[in-house]
Amino acid sequence: MEHLLELKGVTKRYGDTLALKGVSLSIDKGECIALIGPNGAGKTTLLRVIAGLEQASSGEVLYRGVKAKPSLLRRVATMVFQKPEVFNATVYKNVAYGLKVRGYSKAETDRRVKEALSMVKMEGYEDKQAKKLSGGQQQRLALARALALDVELLLLDEPLSNLDSESSTIIGKLLNWISKERRLTMVVAMHDAVEAMALTDKVALLMGGELISVGHTYTVLKQLQAPLKAFTRLENVFIGEATPNEDGSTSIRLSERLTIEAVGKRTGRVTVFIRPEDVMVSKRPVELSARNAFKGRVLEISDLNGAVRLKVDTGKALFTVQITKKSLIELGINVGSEVFLAFKASSVYFL
């Protein structure tokens, strides 16, 4: 079987620094692979080589079985960076730029821009200035710019890092749809192994520039528990006993005092994960459709360069919540504040 893309012994040096060490990896059409590993593992460098933005020092990159020069890779792949660069222009002009360079007609450009903005939930933003958007909105704009090109290979560098709750939820759901429904080939760099499990069933583990293991997500993570402890995010991971309900949901008893609701039917012992970005926080009880709601007290507040993480003790479990700095200020939350948490049953992932 011919692979869409294949790396053979790819090494990349920056002076005396060896960023990639003989990486060999195959990527099939329609496949989604998560590159996981700690900071400095070589994930971003590998993405840049695949995208044709960096020339490998040695080794080969094959596209459909033929050795590919960076110029070819730049035509068939596009990369969304962790900190996206947006042009000092309108949202429309940002998304349309790549289409204009590739010679698309005005009518086709308009159609693609509209479709891409719809996918990232930014309809009506066409005339807004890109530089004035929030960090999360700029990330969604960068993703729309990439999707508009409709390339064969989409590369994303930490697409869910340090986003506001709305943008994180929108991008997370969109990536799942792109992977499972649209079947666009994707390579996604993540330092968070738990988020990788929610996105795809195939991971490639990088450590110190070396490809340590490739395979089914659960198998790789299970076999390499010790190294993973250095970078896997463990917030909001719980183990409990699951009982299916008649309405198609599942009640998960985490302790004698804590039960949460999840979508889907499961029975017996399960491990679940709730993304910190999916937990809503308020200073007073709010009527929501969320089936999981708890009162707690803030134990810790940490700054994440654009976002804020709260450690909240409900007296039954310790939850991590991620919100924007703006929300923190508007809500008047401090260490010791009493808050109310809520998250939907659909935000509970089975691992």
- CATH of region 3-232: 3.40.50.300
In this prediction, residue 145 carries a pLDDT of 94
Give the model's confidence band at 236: pLDDT under 50 very low, under 70 low, under 90 confident, else very high: confident
Q: pTM of the prediction?
A: 0.68
Give the model's confidence band at 227: pLDDT under 50 very low, under 70 low, under 90 confident, else very high: very low
More confident residue, 239 or 11: 11
Give the model's confidence band at 282: pLDDT under 50 very low, under 70 low, under 90 confident, else very high: very high
Q: Is residue 56 over pLDDT 50? A: yes
Q: Tokens in use for 178?
A: 């792109």
User: Taking Cα atoms as reference points, which of 143, 158, 164, 218 lies closest to residue 189?
Assistant: 158
Instruction: Report the SS3 class of residue 244.
Output: strand
In this prediction, residue 231 carries a pLDDT of 54
Q: Which residue has the tokens 């079985």?
A: 65
Could you tell me how many helices (H) and strands (E) the chain has, helices first? 10, 20
How far apart CA 281 and CA 185 sit, in angstroms, is 35
The average confidence (pLDDT) of the chain is: 88
How far apart CA 266 and CA 245 sit, in angstroms, is 9
For the chain, residues classed under CATH 2.40.50.100 are 236-350
**CB half-sphere exposure, 9, CA atoms < 13 A:** 3
How far apart CA 290 and CA 278 sit, in angstroms, is 11
* β-pair partners for 214: 204
In this prediction, residue 235 carries a pLDDT of 72
**β-strands 258-263, 268-274 pairing:** unpaired
CB 125 within 8 A of CB 180: no
In this prediction, residue 219 carries a pLDDT of 72
* pLDDT average, residue stretch 104-121: 95
In this prediction, residue 351 carries a pLDDT of 67
In this prediction, residue 232 carries a pLDDT of 57
Q: What is the pLDDT of residues 244-263, one digit of tens each?
A: 999 989 999 988 788 999 99
CB 28 within 8 A of CB 40: no
Give the model's confidence band at 9: pLDDT under 50 very low, under 70 low, under 90 confident, else very high: very high
* pLDDT average, residue stretch 222-232: 53
Q: Is residue 3 over pLDDT 80? A: yes
CB 190 within 8 A of CB 198: no
In this prediction, residue 65 carries a pLDDT of 94
How far apart CA 149 and CA 79 sit, in angstroms, is 11
Q: What is the pLDDT of residues 286-340, one digit of tens each?
A: 777 778 999 999 999 988 766 888 999 998 889 999 998 889 999 999 999 999 9
In this prediction, residue 291 carries a pLDDT of 84
Give the model's confidence band at 208: pLDDT under 50 very low, under 70 low, under 90 confident, else very high: confident
Instruction: Report the SS3 class of residue 133.
Output: coil
Q: Is residue 62 over pLDDT 70? A: yes
3-state secondary structure 267-311: CEEEEEEECHHHCEEECCCCCCCCCEEEEEEEEEEEECCCEEEEE
Q: Is residue 135 over pLDDT 50? A: yes
How far apart CA 268 and CA 241 sit, in angstroms, is 5
For the chain, residues classed under CATH 3.40.50.300 are 3-232
| CATH fold of 236-350 | OB fold (Dihydrolipoamide Acetyltransferase, E2P) (2.40.50)
Q: What is the pLDDT of residues 173-205, one digit of tens each?
A: 888 888 888 889 999 998 777 677 777 878 998
